[in-house]
Amino acid sequence: MQIFQYRFPVSPLTITGWFCLVVFLTACSSSRKSTNRYETIVVKPADPALAPANASAERKMFIKYGAYLKIDPDSLSNYTLYAFIDKWMKTPYKYGGNDENGIDCSGFIQRLLNDVYNIQVPRTSAQQFFTKNVEPFHGKNYFSEGDLVFFCTVPGQPISHVGMFLHNQYFINASTSSGVSIANLDDPYWKKRFVAAGRVRIKSQSTISNRH
């Protein structure tokens, strides 16, 4: 069944305004309070018909997620990333959680960056936005796999939710309603609350997207 990069810096004035409110931000407090609904992709076991029986585990994974993201599987190359996503998919949301019994948005991104890219970032979504390892930028046309996407989902809290961009406007996140799941930036809920993206720097100063 088919289920259905130049960078722009954030204005210093904008960042200054946000920074004044950082002390009030929590890991993903927005998710606890929001009652809005939005669509997510339900990731199911791979359809055997989608891949040959003798296909490698890597090929099967790319075919599976290529279908969900509506892109050519051949455009996917980071098996470690999608294997991590597949392992955590459907993990329930738990505010402050950090394991497979329950996890929140920033905890999930922290684990993902550490386990897949060997990059360490702070624990909360706001801290992740302001960390020196992340370069904020605007412009959805410049998104690349591995960019972080930040949202304002609670009034007075400029950064309160985070996910990771994959492809074709889809991103992976941990939400209260669906746990670890794939959502679309063009969904009205997320489109209205999107603040900025952030490109994570590795030690060599290149970006995540250039690693693969």
Confidence of residue 123 (pLDDT cuts 50, 70, 90): very high
Q: Collapsing DSSP states into helix, strand and coil, what is residue 108?
A: helix
> Cα separation of 195 and 153, whole Å?
10
Task: Indicate whether 186 pLDDT > 50.
Answer: yes
Measured from the Cβ of residue 130, the count of other Cβ atoms closer than 10 Å reads 17
If one compares 33 and 53, the residue with the highest pLDDT of the two is 53
Q: What is the mean pLDDT of residues 80-96?
A: 97
6 pLDDT exceeds 50?
Answer: no
Which residues, in sequence order, are CB contacts of 95 under 8 Å at separation 6+? 27, 28, 29, 31, 32, 104
Residues 135-143: what's their mean pLDDT? 90
CA torsion 59-63-69-74 (nearest 10°) is 60
pLDDT of residue 32 exceeding 50: no
User: pLDDT value at position 180?
Assistant: 98
CA atoms of 58 and 80, how far apart (whole Å)? 9
pLDDT band at 102 (very low <50, low <70, confident <90, very high): very high
Asked if the model's pLDDT at residue 39 lies above 70, the reply is no
> Coil, strand, or helix at residue 41?
strand
Which has more pLDDT, 204 or 124? 124
- Is pLDDT of 7 > 70? no
**pLDDT, average across residues 108-133:** 96
Q: For residues 163 and 45, which has the higher predicted lDDT (pLDDT)?
A: 163
Taking residues 58-86, what's their average pLDDT?
97
The Cα–Cα gap between 184 and 41 comes to 9
Q: Where are the domains of the chain?
A: 12-210
Which pLDDT score, from 0 to 100, does residue 140 have? 84
Q: Which CATH superfamily is domain 12-210 in?
A: endopeptidase domain like (from Nostoc punctiforme) (3.90.1720.10)
Give pTM, 2 decimals: 0.76
Mean pLDDT of 93-105: 97
Answer with the residue of higher pLDDT: 206 or 115: 115
Q: What is the pLDDT of residue 31?
A: 44
Q: How confident is the model at residue 44 (pLDDT cuts 50, 70, 90)?
A: low
In whole angstroms, give the CA distance from residue 125 to residue 195: 12
The Cα–Cα gap between 66 and 61 comes to 8
State the Cα–Cα distance between residues 196 and 138, nearest whole angstrom. Answer: 5
Residue 65 three-state SS? helix
DSSP at 200: E
